[in-house]
């Protein structure tokens, strides 16, 4: 069975008006699990279940954990999601509501991941689910481009968000297999969570000391090595802006499209709302609306207050 769903490709009149371009939105927020993560994690879980896995173990208190829990429910496979102590009660309850076991362990994802790896090593029938660093996962994420290539025109630029680099790796894989390998990519991050931009600038993987951005879904302290390698072989340009820009874009997008997304998604939308010069002369732009479960109307209002957009 295929767990993810085909999502719409919509042309945005409001974003077109402010940017002077044709802007198409790949609406990954409409996946059943709320984000693009279901494509890749669903693919990993499907293959693992076929191979006989009787348990999924995911170290994530966010979109990856929720996607793993959703996949486990769909495939009737027990799922354990290990979250750090910083994970909100809202996120833990959301994951548990899908029938997954939630274990709180560690001050950060790193400690949660250590426990997940240990548990998976002790249970040979279990499948460890990484949040972003898995070629099978990237292949699954790439299906969003397979769909977009059938749904609309070939864009002059693609805009997407980067956390650990899973979406970037998957999107480029999908681009390559659809003859879009020459299309430049704008890789968007917020200040305080910009591990990809740091790696590109340094020419090597950089581990951030911590994540200080409100866009916690971008909170990988270091990107997957494959993401940096792609930057050496494809036209990928980092785009980094303050939290204020990402949150403001979420608010504008809610008003324009009646759709609520996380700041981790808003940072990509901000590149078009602010008509970034990095988009160059692209007349047609595809934005991956990656979605996210870690947002509500009340949270967005709080973020607006905290970053000074209200």
- Distance CA(151)–CA(26), nearest Å, equals 10
Query: What residue ranges define each of the domains in the chain, with the CATH number in brackets?
Result: 9-36+135-307 (3.40.50.1100), 37-128 (3.40.50.1100)
Upper half-sphere CA count for residue 113 (Cβ side, 13 Å): 10
pLDDT digits (tens, 9 = 90+) for 130-165: 999 999 999 999 999 999 999 999 999 999 999 999
d(CA 112, CA 210): 16
Dump pLDDT digits (tens) for 226-278: 999 999 999 999 999 999 999 999 999 999 999 999 999 999 999 999 999 99
Let me know the angle formed at the C-alpha of 142 by 181 and 189, rounded to the nearest 5 degrees: 80
CB 64 within 8 A of CB 140: no
Q: Is the pLDDT of residue 1 over 80?
A: no
Task: Please check whether residue 229 is in contact with residue 254, taking contact to mean a CB–CB distance below 8 angstroms.
Answer: no
Question: Residue 289's beta-bridge partner residues?
Answer: 27
Query: Looking at beta carbons, which pairs linking 275-279 to residues 24 or more positions away fall under 8 Å?
Result: 275/18, 275/19, 275/20, 276/186, 276/239, 278/186, 278/237, 278/239, 279/19, 279/21, 279/157, 279/159, 279/186
Contact 154, 185 (CB under 8 A): no
DSSP secondary structure letters along 88-137: -HHHHHHHHTTT-EEEE--SSHHHHHHHHHHHHHH-TTEEE--SS--HHH
pLDDT tens, position by position, 197-217? 999 999 999 999 988 999 888
CA 28 to CA 225: how far, in whole Å? 25
How buried is residue 248: exposed, middle or buried, by Cβ count under 10 Å (0-12/13-18/19+)? buried
């Amino acid at each position: 069975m295929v767990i993810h769903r085909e999502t719409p490709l919509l042309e945005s009149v409001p974003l077109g008006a402010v940017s002077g371009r044709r802007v198409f939105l790949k609406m990954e927020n409409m996946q059943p699990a709320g984000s693009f993560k279901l494509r890749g994690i669903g693919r990993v879980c499907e293959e693992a279940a076929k191979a006989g896995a009787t348990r999924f173990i995911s170290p994530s208190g966010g979109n990856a954990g929720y996607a793993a829990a959703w996949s486990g429910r769909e495939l009737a496979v027990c799922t354990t999601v290990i979250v750090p102590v910083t994970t909100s009660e809202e996120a833990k309850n959301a994951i548990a509501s899908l029938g997954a076991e939630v274990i709180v362990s560690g001050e950060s994802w790193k400690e949660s991941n250590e426990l997940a790896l240990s548990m998976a090593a002790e249970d040979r029938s279990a499948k460890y689910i990484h949040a972003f660093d898995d070629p099978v996962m990237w292949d699954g994420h790439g299906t969003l481009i397979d769909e977009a290539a059938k749904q609309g025109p070939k864009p002059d630029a693609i805009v997407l968000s980067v956390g650990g680099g899973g979406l970037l790796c998957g999107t480029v894989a999908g681009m390559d297999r659809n003859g879009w390998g020459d299309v430049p990519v704008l890789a968007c991050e917020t200040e305080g969570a910009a591990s990809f931009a740091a790696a590109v600038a340094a020419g090597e993987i950089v581990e951030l000391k911590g994540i200080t951005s409100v866009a916690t879904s971008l909170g990988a302290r270091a990107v997957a090595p494959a993401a940096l390698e792609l930057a050496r072989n494809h036209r990928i340009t980092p785009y980094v802006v303050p939290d204020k820009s990402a949150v403001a874009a979420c608010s504008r997008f809610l008003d324009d499209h009646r759709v609520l997304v996380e700041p981790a998604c808003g940072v990509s939308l901000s590149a078009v709302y602010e008509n970034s010069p990095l988009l160059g002369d692209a007349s047609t732009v595809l934005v991956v609306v990656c979605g996210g479960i870690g947002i509500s109307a009340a949270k967005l209002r709080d973020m607006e207050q905290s970053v000074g957009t209200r």
